[in-house]
Amino acid sequence: MKMTGGDAILRCLEAEGVEVMFGIPGGAIMPTYDAMARGTTVRHVLARHEQGAGHMAQGYARASGRVGVAIATSGPGATNLVTPIADAWMDSTPLVCITGQVRTPLIGTDAFQECDITGITLPIVKHSWLVQDVEELAAAIKAAFHVARTGRCGPVLVDVPRDIQETVFEFAYPETVELPGWRPPTKVHPLQSREAAKAIALARKPVLYVGGGTLNGDACEELLELAEAGTLPVITTLMGKSAFPETHELHFGWPGMHGPKWSNLAMNTCDVLVAVGARFDDRVTGKLSAFAPGATVIHLDVDPAEISKLRTADIPVVGPLRAALAALTPEIARHRDEGVPAPEPWLDQIRAWREEFPLKYGEDGGWLKPQRVLERLQSLTAGTDVVVTTGVGQHQMWAMQYLLSETPRSFITSGGLGTMGYGIPAAVGAKAARPEATVVCVDGDGCFQMTAQELVTAVVEELPIVVVLINNGYLGMVTQWQDMFFDGRRSHVHLTPDVPNYALLAEAYGGVGMVVTNEEELDTALAEALTASRTVVVDCRVDPAEQCFPMVPTGAAAVDMIEFEPSVVEEEARAS
């Protein structure tokens, strides 16, 4: 069928089963937006900033398990997508970005809104295409979706010059992808699984260290079956959070810099550490040479390059995690049937640690405690269909510690890149993916102002979200570091809790604003917000002196955690 390149882009998206794309039009992508005006089954959500569009596509991808699609114009439109692309690269989120480019004869001439976006994004994409011939357009988009979602998921970019979008050609969507160099593993080596299963079954102190790859690999059911078959304790990383039901008796918290002490003790004193789609990130391991010193490491990953990148794997299992985990379960069940005992004493030990080193926070003063907000949010959302997104900082760590995710893909956060401002647009994207769910963005006041304009998108596009704002008037995590490691010298971290007036701002954006200053108001406000079916910002004015504990200082071993200590400078903090 004859059509323009712009129409062809939409036919490609439709053929890929894309339901929604997030974007903003501009000069170099106008022929494609013109094609949208002619009609498409793909819903377009109009963001207010391309960074917002990118994070929405990420939130959509993480909530749905499908590929997220963001679309933007050339130059600044494209560079505004760089942060979401880098974020998707670090967290392995399947993302297809389509950008307009200046006309092919103008490429390289510093034309208006020209930038080399394929060059700029080269180190942060799995692959990218600059389409220079309309005949290659459909194959490039087909390949882009294939690369984004196969093997280890991640972002790809297709840059389409404006004249290519305008060219009329005979369109046919290719049935197959021709990428002779792209061959991610599709099978697991049986010898590797057998060896791994034996080591896990015989372990006296095993730990399943579960990362985001488990969610990306759609392997959560297989993980649950494995853990239950072997009676194996599960610790989920920030990116792995929600891969395993956190109300399950075999779930034992989250590792790393702000993980509970009992989780870190379990991780670091285990005898067999099974990394499942996890990558030994420095925020998890602390000092790498001191991490889990006595453990035999079994590493399951679809990406061979992660094996022994940071920690040498004694038994590598390369392949899709569903297959890898599914292969282990019957083997381990067989060992248990043959009388190899479940590691009950080890589970008792971790439970004892959990009793001994619970999460703690200050109860002093009349201040609303941020942890209290999250405890109440947990209590009010337990058992309901809720998806949580976060920004980055103290509130994110408290959300990790106090919210218990029960179903896969219900906790969406920026882990690797640590992108402040991720929460609100990711929530909008998650709502587009899961309209029946209540989508809550736990945000900080610093993060909020980085992407707050997307509240407009939530309102106008009827994708209502609840923002629970942990407002302490500070760039809280930086403040905490300055207090703990820079002798309390506060340097440019004070934001003020009441400028802007967040509740009024929410109203200005067309949503509902609430202010909570004490515990009495908290439950009412949260309950109202959660059932409002409108975009609501609950501005929780929390104790500015509260710090996030426990904490592994940078460069320290994960077992050498600083447990709760009352803030040394709290009076000053509260006074300002």
Partner 1 sequence: MKHTLSVTVEDKPGALNRITTMFARRGFNIDSLAVGPTERPGVSCITLRVDCSRHTLEQIEKQIHKLVNVLRVTELQPGEAVERELLVVRIAAPADRRAELVTTAQALGARLLDVGRDAVVMELAGTPEELDGFHQLCEPYGIVDLVRTGRVGVPRASAERRVPRRLAAIR
Q: Decide: is 470 part of the binding site for partner 1 (CB under 8 A).
A: no
Residue 537, strand partner residues: 467, 513
Smallest gap from residue 322 Cβ to partner 1 (A): 18
* Phi, psi of 287, deg, nearest 5: -60, 115
Smallest gap from residue 131 Cβ to partner 1 (A): 11
Smallest gap from residue 407 Cβ to partner 1 (A): 31
Q: Which of 19, 104, 189, 532 binds partner 1 (CB under 8 A)?
A: 189
Q: Which of 39, 175, 176, 180 binds partner 1 (CB under 8 A)?
A: 180
Sign of CA dihedral 213, 218, 219, 220: positive
Nearer to partner 1, 185 or 553 (CB): 185
DSSP secondary structure code for residue 562 in this structure: B
Smallest gap from residue 113 Cβ to partner 1 (A): 22
Smallest gap from residue 96 Cβ to partner 1 (A): 14
Residues 129-158 that bind partner 1 (CB under 8 A): 130, 147, 151
Alpha carbon distance 470, 398 (integer Å): 10
Smallest gap from residue 544 Cβ to partner 1 (A): 38
Cis before 553 (ω within 30): no
Smallest gap from residue 11 Cβ to partner 1 (A): 24
Nearer to partner 1, 116 or 521 (CB): 116
Residues 290-349 that bind partner 1 (CB under 8 A): 303-305, 307-309, 313, 316, 318
Nearer to partner 1, 147 or 551 (CB): 147
Cβ atoms of 188 and 158 closer than 8 Å = no
Q: Decide: is 185 part of the binding site for partner 1 (CB under 8 A).
A: yes
Length of the chain: 576
Q: Decide: is 382 part of the binding site for partner 1 (CB under 8 A).
A: no
Nearer to partner 1, 27 or 304 (CB): 304
Interface characters, 90-129, with partner 1 (x: CB under 8 A) = ----------------------------xx--xx--xxx-
113: which residues sit within 8 A by CB, 6+ positions away? 26, 27, 28, 73, 74, 75, 76, 77, 102
* Tokens 């022929």 sit on residue: 31
Q: State both tokens at 326.
A: 């599914």
Smallest gap from residue 122 Cβ to partner 1 (A): 5
Cβ atoms of 308 and 315 closer than 8 Å = no
Q: Which amino acid is at 6?
A: G
Query: Read out DSSP for 373-407?
Result: HHHHHHHHHTTS-EEEEE-SSHHHHHHHHH----S
The number of angstroms, rounded, from the C-alpha of 93 to the middle of its chain's C-alpha atoms is: 8
Query: Read out DSSP for 199-232?
Result: HHHH-SSEEEEE-THHHHTT-HHHHHHHHHHHT-
Alpha carbon distance 9, 6 (integer Å): 5
Count of residues near partner 1 by CB under 8 A: 25
**Which chain residues interact with partner 1 by CB under 8 A?**
118-119, 122-123, 126-128, 130, 147, 151, 179-182, 185, 189, 303-305, 307-309, 313, 316, 318
